[in-house]
Structure 1
């Protein structure tokens, strides 16, 4: 606006008086340049925006690490967090919910027959556990356990729950009673 009035031939003192602006404010504004800190902050915002556009699943920690590697400078994760907050961006990463395999049975729950036994020498317990592998597949681990000796007698890993007795066994146990 001031430049427009100056181009029309009005004097600067008259324009500043009409706008009620001190002349020192106007001349300070003419000489003003953004500080180096502000220029760095603007460049940092641009870089964060570019990195986030490439990989939107990156959060502030990964972006900060990437910037430190690119620029070879010291930079805190919190600074990047503040910049991302100012820009209104955040990671689009979310926790993937894995679905465990399910089993159903029509049989009612069996009572715990071991609870009242005084001697556990002839008892073997069994258990089946789900284990998720790195490739997101599930396998079953079936074990037979001797609670008296605190020792696994046999185990089997498989992709299905089957009834075939396979796997490693210990032959030192003489036909224990199985409670199912």
Structure 2
């Protein structure tokens, strides 16, 4: 019994005869070649059998082609460093091995192979170390009524400020507990005791203290 002709195939697959590119038609032929003759498929879709076979040969070559040497080195470096290297450090490591690869190509290769670097947790510095072993003054605010006027209680603390260059600056500030106004502050590259005393001195200059003023801070070493 004769197989289906061109007319029969066109009737059953007329929705595929739209204006599609040759690559899409080649892929369709590849999927239908098990049930229809390649020559018939090419005739219906308006492509040449030689063009289809050339495309098929290119696809087979791409499937069996070995990755470039830099990509093999990328996989090894990525695994050796336990997925902790992003594209920047991978680029440096590959340059050390003689491969000059742009970060965009590295991203594409990692995406293609499903390689994703681990995201490190954000670093949050600690400003208070209560285990410094120094003598701590007792809290004079315990069991005391809340202040009702400005310049009765100042509270202070130390904190870190992130900089644009990924470094940190140290800030000490004194705040009035009632007015919530910052009465004195000081910024430094490190956190010595002078950072605290300088901020307090600036507060005294800006806001002369009243008799009985209580200055309260945390229990850090400074």
What is the TM-score when the length of structure 2 is the normalising length? 0.40
Structure with greater strand share of residues: 1
Kindly indicate whether structure 1 or structure 2 has the higher relative contact order, using CA contacts under 8 Å at least 6 residues apart. Answer: 2
Structure with greater helix share of residues: 2
